[in-house]
Amino acid sequence: MKKIVLTFALVLAAQIGMAQTNEAFKKDVLKVIEVTGSASQMKLAKDQILKMIPKEKQAAFLVEFDASLPSLYDKIAKVYMEEYSHDDIKQILKFYETPVGKKMTDKAGVIAEKNMAASQEWGSSLQGMMMKYMQ
């Protein structure tokens, strides 16, 4: 009986330890998501979508949109945790604490906006190319 209780206690302790390790890992991943500029990209997307929402419904939309972000960030964190080790994430965070890493964070929104404009321009030219070959 003592062996069963001891085994159960060890398994429970291991599970608690893993949960705490996973929480620390997830916390670091969420910090990477924040410092890499994903939040500013979501703001850019929100601003683009907001233009399509009637003025009288924008406040309600913003509340619902903002409430949906934690769930999205959790899903993104899960992807990061599948692809990177906790040590990888710590190294990425270390990079983003450097001057060039901070500059990347500061410029992420501007770069995303300019990339979107370049992509839209490219998409327009692609449509013409597609039409040429679809006929």
On average, the pLDDT of the chain sits at: 83
Parent domain of 118 = 1-134
Amino acid sitting at position 65 = F
Tally of structural domains, the chain = 1
- Over residues 74-84, mean pLDDT: 94
Full-model pTM:
0.65
Q: How many CB atoms lie within 10 A of CB 7?
A: 10
pLDDT at position 36 is 83
**35-72 tens-digit pLDDT:** 887 777 788 788 888 899 999 998 999 999 999 999 99
